[in-house]
Chain A
Amino acid sequence: MPLLHVTDMSHNFGGLQAVSEYNLSLDPGQITGLIGPNGAGKTTIFNLITGLYRPTKGSVRFDGEELVGKKLNETAAMGLARTFQEMKLWRHMTVLEHIKMARYSKLSYGLMGAFLGTPKRRREERKVTELAMEYLKMFAVDQVADQLVVNLPYGDQRRVEMARALVIEPKVLLLDEPTVGMTPDEMMAMIEVIRKAHERFNLAIFLIEHRLQVVRELCQHVQALVFGQVLVEGKSDEVQNHPKVIEAYIGEQEVEF
């Protein structure tokens, strides 16, 4: 049984059909890519799966459970994590706080502990800090743990966001253009980071990407989305060289070349 199973999912904004009859099945440990021109509905699909939008039709099953109608924090606690194209970091909080925040649901101390600083709370705080530092080391941002994220270089901010997504111990990770705006070097480093995380946690990854090199390096399976519909799907090379996909990317008049 696939870990993440989307069937016949559709969504419209007012009269606009943003996503129609979308299907996805993602097995444990599998990396699938989602490509397509701007405005094809890629991020909308992410928002539908994670519950930021509610699909007009269809179902999203995760680990055998229906996600549609579940609260966002419940979905996250079940093991579905994501990153954002525009990152959405908490600008004036420290790197360490970002990681600790993502362990919220695992901390059990109560209000008494919060106001009075009971031994239980101190124990939990110490444990969560150790764990957070471990993750930061993995992403090579442990040196800046006490800095505000707003002061970090772009590539480091991206890695903090990845660490924040992974520290909730997800089974499935959705990455929305993880290399957007990066230099070629930063991009190669990011590919390595994703590969490492994939191996270490046996993650299933679903990835939106414009850069075909990233898709080629990482994805076993690729879907090409145009106007909210999957046009072609299959092995990465096949999809990228498919005439229909090329047509969608570069526009109709140039197809004759």
Chain B
Amino acid sequence: MTFTFLMQNLINALQWGSFYALIAMGYSMVYSILMLFNFAHGDIFMVGAYIGLGVSLGLLSLFGTGAAAILPGWVLLVLTILISMFLTAFVGIIVERVGYRPLREAPRASAAITGLMIGIMLETGNILFLGGQRFKFPQLHQFIAHTKWGMAMRAMAYDYVVVPLVGVPMNTIAAMTFAIGSALAAAAGILFGLAYPVLDPYMGVSFGWKAFVAAILGGRGSIMGACLAGFMLGFIEIMTVPAIQIMNRLFSLNIGSNLRDLIAYSIVLVILVFRPHGLFGQAYSSKLRL
């Protein structure tokens, strides 16, 4: 049990957690305004990763690599992230416009089902057409807490009927929320692509659901909670493996590390038993509306 082994796991946990955190924050943002989990969000993460790949390949071919490089590597990386976030934000806006806006008055279940369908469409669309850095979180928090748009997003969560009646263009706010949430997912997608250069059309499904768990764990609608819970979930998941190894060696057991998810999510379940509305969620008297 060396120090470097521990450090390596810690770094992995941070990295893994940052993916969850970025995706979970997107879930929470959309939830906080529409009281609705955008179930297509995991797949927007996947789209973001692919767009990131496309943009980086495009930039590399345009500006060259190696000795002939016109722009240094870090500039290309920053450009890739910015352009991909921008493009993925557009995907988010389209999802809101086509999928959710017509259903704003409809029962929540309709919107939830629509979200799942949009997710599948994004996955199969990907198969059809392709055959297969730390984000500055404090600034997002102050955006939500203090700016006119952030205020409007929160106001929509409590009573959206009156929001336009005080002069706020509601559709702009809804689209903007989806755009920011999707841009976050794109950032996660690129970071993922950098660390694990294997993309597949279904990568958004497992990641998306786990980030959804993080959003719930953080407290529905709490963006800060989602971020922390994302890192926490990453930490629990990664650290379960060395914990299993240590247990095996100490007690000469033979627990397979493929039990990782089972153990990790049992821990999450225990936390939720004691804090049913999540780490930072407010206690709601109403039932969870999907």
Cβ contacts under 8 Å, A107 to chain B = 148
**Total contacting residues, chain A, CB less than 8 A:** 33
Task: Please determine whether A76 and B139 come into contact, CB atoms closer than 8 angstroms.
Answer: no
Once A93-B151, A104-B152 are accepted as A-B contacts, the answer to whether A88 and B143 lie under 8 Å apart by CB is no
Q: Give the contacting residue for B166; candidates A76, A92, A109, A113; CB below 8 A.
A: A76
Once A88-B161, A92-B282 are accepted as A-B contacts, the answer to whether A164 and B151 lie under 8 Å apart by CB is no
How far, in Å, is A254 (CB) from chain B's closest CB?
Answer: 38
Task: Please determine whether A73 and B161 come into contact, CB atoms closer than 8 angstroms.
Answer: no
Q: Quick check: is B265 within 8 A (CB to CB) of the other chain?
A: no
Once A71-B169, A93-B155, A101-B151 are accepted as A-B contacts, the answer to whether A114 and B164 lie under 8 Å apart by CB is no
Once A101-B155, A104-B152 are accepted as A-B contacts, the answer to whether A52 and B161 lie under 8 Å apart by CB is yes
Q: Quick check: is B137 within 8 A (CB to CB) of the other chain?
A: no
Task: Please determine whether A72 and B165 come into contact, CB atoms closer than 8 angstroms.
Answer: yes
Q: Quick check: is B167 within 8 A (CB to CB) of the other chain?
A: yes
How far, in Å, is B258 (CB) from chain A's closest CB?
Answer: 43
List residues of A (79-116) whose CB comes within 8 Å of B's CBs: 81-82, 84, 88-93, 97, 100-102, 104-105, 107, 109, 113-115
Q: Quick check: is B170 within 8 A (CB to CB) of the other chain?
A: yes
Interface of B, secondary structure class, is: helix
How far, in Å, is B135 (CB) from chain A's closest CB?
Answer: 12
CB < 8 Å A-B pair total: 77
Cβ contacts under 8 Å, B159 to chain A = 88-91
Task: Please determine whether B155 and A90 come into contact, CB atoms closer than 8 angstroms.
Answer: yes
Task: Please determine whether A50 and B155 come into contact, CB atoms closer than 8 angstroms.
Answer: no
Q: Quick check: is A168 within 8 A (CB to CB) of the other chain?
A: yes
- How far, in whole Å, are A125 and B166 apart by their CA atoms in the complex? 18
Cβ contacts under 8 Å, A102 to chain B = 166-167
Once A100-B151, A114-B143 are accepted as A-B contacts, the answer to whether A88 and B162 lie under 8 Å apart by CB is yes
Task: Please determine whether B139 and A115 come into contact, CB atoms closer than 8 angstroms.
Answer: yes
Cβ contacts under 8 Å, A114 to chain B = 143, 147-150
Cβ contacts under 8 Å, B147 to chain A = 113-114, 121
Cβ contacts under 8 Å, A72 to chain B = 164-165, 170
- How far, in whole Å, are A146 and B142 apart by their CA atoms in the complex? 17
How far, in Å, is B131 (CB) from chain A's closest CB?
Answer: 37
Q: Quick check: is A77 within 8 A (CB to CB) of the other chain?
A: yes
Q: Quick check: is B62 within 8 A (CB to CB) of the other chain?
A: no
- How far, in whole Å, are A84 and B155 apart by their CA atoms in the complex? 16
Cβ contacts under 8 Å, A76 to chain B = 164-167
Q: Quick check: is B78 within 8 A (CB to CB) of the other chain?
A: no
Q: Quick check: is B275 within 8 A (CB to CB) of the other chain?
A: no
Cβ contacts under 8 Å, B157 to chain A = 90
- How far, in whole Å, are A114 and B166 apart by their CA atoms in the complex? 20
Q: Which residues of B contact A (CB under 8 A)?
A: 139, 142-143, 146-152, 154-155, 157-159, 161-162, 164-170, 282
Given A91-B159, A92-B158, A105-B167, 18 additional A-B pairs, CB 8 A? A72-B164, A72-B165, A73-B164, A76-B166, A76-B167, A81-B166, A82-B165, A90-B154, A90-B155, A91-B158, A93-B151, A93-B158, A101-B151, A104-B151, A107-B148, A113-B147, A114-B147, A114-B148
Q: Closest 5 CB pairs between A and B?
A: A72-B164, A105-B167, A90-B158, A102-B166, A114-B147
Q: List 16 A-B contacts (CB under 8 A).
A: A73-B167, A76-B166, A76-B167, A81-B165, A89-B159, A90-B154, A90-B155, A101-B166, A102-B167, A104-B148, A104-B168, A109-B148, A115-B139, A121-B147, A164-B166, A165-B166
